[in-house]
Amino acid sequence: MPAKTLQDWKNTAATLAIEGRCFIDGDYRAAMDGRTFDKISPVEGRHLAAIARADAADVELAVAAARRAFDSGSWSRLAPVQRKRTLLRFAELIEAHAEELALLETLDMGKPIANALAADLPGTVNAMRWTAEAIDKVYGEVAATADDQLGLVTREAVGVVGIIVPWNFPLLMASWKFAPALAAGNSVVLKPSERSPLTAIRIAALASEAGIPDGVFNVLGGYGHEAGQALALHNDVDAIAFTGSTRIAKQLMIAAGQSNLKRVWTEAGGKSPNIVCADAPDLLQAAGSAAAAIAYNQGQVCTAGSRLLVQRSIKEEFLEHLRSALAGWAPGHPLDPVTRYGAMVDRQHVEQVRGFIQGAEEEGARLILGGEEGLAGESGCYLAPALFDGVHNGMRIAREEIFGAVLSVIDFDTPEEAVAIANDSPYGLAAALWTSDLSRAHRMARALRAGSVWVNQYSGGDMTAPFGGYKQSGNGRDRSLHAFDKYTELKATWIRL
């Protein structure tokens, strides 16, 4: 079958039926008070759906359903191999609806349809399959005891897990959390961002079709912090798993302390350094990677390589390569299959990123490329990548997470200076470095205070590698077997024989 064209995708979008209600205890339903909010697409500015505006009353209903399901054992007490089979079926259904879900992602938050099809949906399916296959291979322990004692260390599901996810990778980020939570036997209340709730709402029906019992998988399309705060304060929620800003992560931890001291696992902000040493094996490749590291998903990535540290001796040559590479990331219509840089999530976010660009110029940084708003012939939320030189690490654009394609170039002389600049940040989510010296790569990787360090590439790893941050980038880890630590309790059972 030939690939779909821009017009094909527009035609499909025009006839797409979009669900906006909450999914609670196995059924779609309106918010308790009947309120809704409008979801407007950043692609062309058109109205997509009226989304149920869940609040504390809806959270109460969903948590009660999740608790009943958990206590009944309909899911929590199934053998791990049985939960595995159901989750694999869930993954199959998501894969079967990949085009529909990719289109929803693009219309919802503006990412290129090519990226949604090639990365977000396959990544979601892979996360679910890998996690499902892992759960019946996670064992307990037998302690080393005296001959008349038997010590068992076992894992048990936490109970009811509230999951709050961001708008930049709506389905993928959700799957990194609900897959291990469900696999471990928990019940889930998923709260997507109001900026991109559509795929989370849609897959709830697929979860039910796959055989996940009523009440085990619930989705609330709340607005602002209404539903999220109610989840964090609820005394019958046993854990919160969150991806989003550091500011909100702190508020969730406060709410946990004000309620039942629930576990709060956070993957929060980032201001990731991308370090290019003079002996980088391929400057052209490093420049292309640096451009992608800031421009992919319109810069709306928690691990975006927003601080580019370049050794002074190669800086001018490298900047020429970087200019050429960034020129290939001009905004395009997100439904055009050739587009790789789409729309920002909404008008408010465009203005927020533009504010950073203006502020950087006022602080003395030099805008040497990009930052233009708009896309010829189209309405919507478009902002070209911006490249700044003359940045020092004390400037606002080097300190704060912008969540847009704004790249700050900072020069350095020695690897030790580069590490000091990289670590001089409240964040510690990711870092990358480019060098041909193997010993230097190991030394710098060890010295960098970040949860992920990539060498001679930007971004790397798969479901086998844990993902999370140091410092104010959060706690706990997604992906890998370590993810199960967030959704299980350890129990020691000591038996006298």
Q: What is the mean pLDDT of the chain?
A: 97
Would 428 be classed as within a structural domain?
Answer: yes
Same domain as 86, residue 28: yes
**Can you give the CATH number for the domain in which 244 is found?**
3.40.605.10
Give per-residue pLDDT as tens, 466-479: 999 999 999 999 99
Residue partners of 210: CB distance under 8 A and separation at least 6: 86, 87, 89, 90, 92, 93
How big, in percent rounded to 5, are the helix, strand and coil portions of the chain? 40, 20, 35
215-229 average pLDDT score:
94
Same domain as 346, residue 256: no
Would 294 be classed as within a structural domain?
Answer: yes
Same domain as 192, residue 307: no
Structurally, the chain folds into a number of domains equal to: 2
Would 286 be classed as within a structural domain?
Answer: yes
| Active site (annotated) includes residue 22 | no
Q: Check 267, 277, 381, 401 and give the catalytic one.
A: 267
Same domain as 40, residue 122: yes
Would 468 be classed as within a structural domain?
Answer: no
Give per-residue pLDDT as tens, 373-425: 999 888 899 999 999 999 999 999 999 999 999 999 999 999 999 999 999 99
The crossing angle, in degrees rounded to 10, of helices 98-109 and 80-96 is: 70
DSSP string over 119-182: IIHHHHHHHHHHHHHHHTT---EE----TTEEEEEEEEE-SEEEEE--SSSHHHHHHHHHHHHH
Would 1 be classed as within a structural domain?
Answer: no
Task: Determine if residue 299 is left, alpha or beta; phi over 0 gives left, psi from -120 to 50 gives alpha, anything else beta.
Answer: left
Which two tokens mark 467? 């993902």
Domain that holds residue 233: 6-268+479-494
Which residues face 25 on adjacent strands?
none
pLDDT bucket at 1, cuts 50 / 70 / 90: low
Amino acid at 457: Q
Give per-residue pLDDT as tens, 156-195: 999 999 999 999 999 999 999 999 999 999 999 999 999 9
Give per-residue pLDDT as tens, 276-297: 999 999 999 999 999 999 999 9
Same domain as 182, residue 278: no
Q: Check 19, 302, 381, 401 and give the catalytic one.
A: 302
Half-sphere exposure of residue 39: CA atoms within 13 angstroms, side-chain side: 31
Same domain as 180, residue 291: no
Would 438 be classed as within a structural domain?
Answer: yes
Same domain as 349, residue 246: no
Same domain as 182, residue 102: yes
Which two tokens mark 294? 């800031």
**Can you give the CATH number for the domain in which 430 is found?**
3.40.309.10
Would 336 be classed as within a structural domain?
Answer: yes
Would 26 be classed as within a structural domain?
Answer: yes
pLDDT bucket at 129, cuts 50 / 70 / 90: very high
Distance of alpha carbon 73 from alpha carbon 456, whole angstroms = 48
| Active site (annotated) includes residue 105 | no
Distance of alpha carbon 295 from alpha carbon 307, whole angstroms = 13
Amino acid at 342: G
340-347 average pLDDT score:
97
421-431 average pLDDT score:
98
The dihedral sign for the CA sequence 476, 478, 484, 486? positive
Q: What pLDDT sits at residue 2?
A: 73
Same domain as 242, residue 316: no
Please give the backbone phi and psi of residue 440, each rounded to the nearest 5 degrees, phi first. Answer: -60, -40
Same domain as 91, residue 154: yes
Length of the chain counted residue by residue: 497
Same domain as 378, residue 244: no
Same domain as 218, residue 118: yes
Q: What pLDDT sits at residue 403?
A: 97
Q: What pLDDT sits at residue 342?
A: 97
How many C-beta atoms lie closer than 10 Å to residue 266's C-beta?
Answer: 25
